Structure 1
Amino acid sequence: MLKLNTKALVVAAAFLVGGGSSVFAQDNLVNSLQNNRSDSSKFGFKFTEIINLQNTSVKNQGSSGTCWSYSGNSFLESEMIRNGRETVEISQLFTARNVYVEKGKNYVRLHGGLSLGEGGQLHDVINMYQKYGAMPREAYTGLNYGTEGNKLAEMSAITDAILAAVVKNPNGKLTPNWLNAYTGAIDTYLGKVPETFSYKGKNYTPQSFAKEVVGLNADDYVEISSFKDHPYYSKFTLLIPDNWSFDQVYNVAMTDITDIIDHALKNGYTVGWATDVSEKGFSWKNGVAYVPEKPFERMSEVEKGNMFNGPKQEMTITEDLRQQAFDDYGTTDDHGMHIVGLAKDQNDKEYYIVKNSWGASNDYEGYLYVTKAFVQFKTTAFMLHKGGIPKEIKRKLGI
């Protein structure tokens, strides 16, 4: 497994679920990653598993903004397990390739009025699965340019330049050739998608592989968020830069976020999770995320140094606080991960067990423990099978 060094992690983080083109988001992430001052949280935290649902091995997205594809496909792999199917590593770069093609089309249709970059959303994984199918990673690694791991900055610079040239419309009228030029550049780096491929001695197309091997119904999955500037228990378009497809999400009350996730986990459903990781209370190194009771800028140097040496009191999170943080860019749409379980610390406080895609290089070998306050405060959206939603909430949503 390729391991990320700090520089690679910063580059990757800057292009994650949201804020892929934001220098501000990148600066926050750099500060967050460098602020992991405790040598190891494992000496101060004593976690006991309550629920730990089956999931596939931790992967490494390398120097790429494809966390949304890694977390979304990890989620699909757990859904395969839940349905009693044999697991397979689904090609993350096949999903990403299809998103880049579709995003390019929208960019041109909007005359350049769309965020580019490598970022995406969890719903992109479901949408591409439904439209294009799926492939095993062994049949499409996305490594067609001489590296052992993802490193997509050069490809992105070239494809962005192609699209910029297209929307300038130098001919006065677009020709259909621009799409061939654009997809050709993507395929040069990621590889041309084969019409058929062999898996375990049988030939498949991406669509037949999705149907026969993965075997999931895309219509069974929903994406949910919570913002009080929209009516609860209705749908709205989540206005974040990387929602390039303008998909709508269901809106619920803030406390419903954790109520739904708890219900899902207790009934065997994992959850795809999009969130802000630029927070001082998020430590990849230490494998813990929480909301400090005192703002970081008001902490003493001793308090800053002890942020991850054991359980701490947290700020009380309200809907007003959550909305304000989103509105003033305090909450940025940075990263996608996969919630796979529930644990408690030595004080019986509950944390979600979260699978990341930055390799197994932190204290918990690729996993983190995240408090419910952090999830309520910093979730931008989450995705799950509709069967994991409590009946009363499902009734309110009309699902």
Structure 2
Amino acid sequence: MLKFNRKAWTLAAALFLAGSTNSFAQDNLVRSLQSNQSDSSKFGFKFTDVINLQNTAVKNQGSSGTCWSYSGNSFLESEMIRNGRTPVEISQLFTARNVYVEKGKNYVRLHGGLNLGEGGELHDVINMYRKYGAVPREVYTGLNYGTEGNKLAEMSAMTDAILAAVVKNPNGKLTPNWLTAYTNAIDTYLGKVPETFDYKGKNYTPKSFAKEVIGLNADDYVELSSFKDHPYYSKFTLLIPDNWSFDQVYNVPMLDMTTIIDNALKNGYTVGWATDVSEKGFSWKNGVAYVPEKPFEEMTIEERATMFNGPKSEMTVTEDLRQQAFDDYSTTDDHGMHIVGLAKDQNGKEYYIVKNSWGASNDYQGYLYVTKAFVQYKTTAFLLHKGGIPKEIRNKLGL
């Protein structure tokens, strides 16, 4: 999932092409998402925490499409806390760097028939943790050319050009050197990964650090979604552009999604969440996301201006509506975040507490409150420890 959105591009500017990334994407998306907001929102909503699980500090992914790595690693950090370990800020760009290498291999194997760009999925974090291990951010920041934050557009343009040249196959037969050239370009921008490093007085490799310090078993984590065009309680390949590894997810009925998330939170498990954030009912500035009862196009000017001045009634979301929105591109796979709790508004309605990776730049210092209807409607996938799934659903899934 990209940290910016294809629909937001067309609203914000015609500069962006689907699947591409550039250095202005972060700012343009945020401006687009703030177009429907209310200065009085934080006074109109009164949230009370019901569950607020421990999580690490809010980060800022900067001008990069690495939301999936920030949210996925934030999730792993909370898993460390849940397991009684002292959390470590895991290097988000170490994970991303390894994804870009693996994605490049698949791109070449498919003769260019794969989505490039900086996007990824939550399962990528687990897959790279399993294959490569992990390192603390202080060891590998990914800021190898003097910037204070991520700014990956130039690197993406360079690496995309390399791969485009490779699949043209100008020699008539590929040499093994293309992968070295491609990897070296990535490492020029992000930095070469250390084979060993010192952390708190002990020497580690990335794999030994993952095993001894982070201490999580990659096989304990599962990804789920809900689409009625596939059999429920089975696995299917989620066909979205950034699923470059063609990973499969478990398919559950729509209402099971929030049942699972509720059960997880009540039992101390946080949840990685992939969703569509281009909706008019999503306001990053106001820190609220819901499904308006009336389509935005049918609202009066006054209704649009007051969308976020307090709790509102919502549209009834059905499985048919959810499937239709995915099929007609109304729902797109835009952004990854981290569900860390549950809250109620002044009317007793429940919202998930969601940690973002756009810095502490909104009304709730980097967090937002999302209704269950929004999660049911706009989730593309979610990731959690299988222990967070209710036993009866776990049994149906064969876990």
TM-score of the aligned structures, taking structure 1 as reference length: 0.94
* CA distance in 2 between partners of 1:192 and 1:315 (Å): 50
The SS at the match of 1:139 is coil
Structure 1 equivalent of residue 59 of structure 2? 59
Code of the residue aligned with 2:136 in structure 1: it is P
Q: CA deviation at 1:27?
A: 12
Specify whether residues 64 and 228 from structure 1 end up closer, same or farther in structure 2 by C-alpha distance, changes over 3 A only: same
Letter in 2 for 1:360: A
CA contact (8 A) 1:10 1:30 kept: no
Q: How does 1:1-399 map to 2 (within 5 A)?
A: 20-21=19-20, 29=29, 32-399=32-399
Q: Is the 8 A contact 1:275 1:332 kept in 2?
A: yes
Q: What amino acid sits opposite 1:353 in the alignment?
A: I
SS of match in other structure, 2:138: helix
The Cα shift of 1:66 comes to: 0.2
Measured after TM superposition, the shift of residue 255 of structure 1 is: 0.1
Q: Which residue of 2 is the match for residue 4 of structure 1? A: none
Residue deviations 1:46-70 (CA, integer Å, cap 9, x gap)? 0000000000000000000000000
Deviations 1:352-380 (A, max 9, x none): 00000000010000000000000000000
Residues 292, 313 of structure 1: 8 Å contact kept: yes
Q: 1:188 to 1:80 in 2, by over 3 A?
A: same
- Quote the Cα distance in structure 2 between the aligned partners of 1:40 and 1:118: 35
CA contact (8 A) 1:32 1:283 kept: no
2:3 corresponding residue in structure 1: none
Provide the C-alpha distance between the structure 2 equivalents of 1:330 and 1:26, rounded to a whole number of angstroms. 21
Unaligned runs of 5+ in 2: 1-7
Q: 1:249 to 1:28 in 2, by over 3 A?
A: farther
Shift in CA distance, 27/111, structure 1 to aligned 2, threshold 3 Å: farther
Change (3 A) 1:149 1:163: same
**Are 2:36 and 2:304, in contact at CA under 8 Å, matched by a contact in 1?**
no
Deviations 1:79-106 (A, max 9, x none): 0000000111000000000000000000
8 A Cα contact 1:36 1:286, kept in partner: no
Identity %, equivalent residues: 88
CA displacement at 1:10 relative to structure 2: 7.8
- Say if 2:233 and 2:397, in contact at 8 Å, map to a contact too: yes
Show structure 1 runs of 4+ deviating over 4 A: 25-32
Contact kept? 1:40, 1:363, Cα under 8 Å: no
- Whole-Å separation in 2 of the counterparts to 1:70 and 1:59: 8
How far did residue 41 of structure 1 move?
A: 1.4
What is the alpha-carbon distance in structure 2 between the residues aligned to residue 35 and residue 302 of structure 1? 15
Aligned counterparts of 1:105 and 1:115: Cα–Cα separation in 2: 12
Contact 1:101/1:183 (CA < 8 Å) preserved in 2? yes
The aligned amino acid for 1:200 is K
Q: Distance in 1 between matches of 2:296 and 2:26?
A: 18
In 2, Cα distance between equivalents of 1:189 and 1:79: 30
- CA drift of 1:22 comes to 9.2
1:270–1:339 contact (8 Å) kept in structure 2: yes
Over the aligned positions, Cα root-mean-square deviation in angstroms equals: 2.0
SS at match of 1:128: helix
Q: Per the alignment, do residues 156 and 341 of structure 1 end up closer, same or farther by CA in structure 2, a change over 3 Å counting?
A: same
Structure 1 distance, partners of 2:139, 2:396, is: 42
Specify the SS of the correspondent of 1:127.
helix
Contact conserved, 1:357 with 1:366, CA < 8 A, in 2? yes
CA positional deviation for 1:396:
0.5
Alpha carbons of structure 1 residues 320 and 22: separation in structure 2 relative to 1, 3 Å: farther
Q: Distance in 2 between matches of 1:345 and 1:335?
A: 25
Q: Is the 2:37–2:285 Cα contact (8 Å) retained in structure 1?
A: no
| Structure-2 separation of matches of 1:383 and 1:322 | 19
1:239-293 per-residue CA deviation (whole Å, 9 max, x = no partner) reads: 0000000000000000000000000000000000000000000000000000000
Alignment CA distance shift 1:144-1:108 (3 Å)? same
User: 1:28–1:278: 8 Å Cα contact kept in structure 2?
Assistant: no
Paired residues in the alignment total: 385
Alpha carbons of structure 1 residues 22 and 326: separation in structure 2 relative to 1, 3 Å:
farther
User: Contact 1:29 / 1:277 at 8 angstroms: preserved in 2?
Assistant: no
> Which residue number corresponds to residue 4 of structure 2?
none
* SS of residue matched to 1:274: strand
Structure 1 spans left out of the alignment, 5+ residues: 1-8
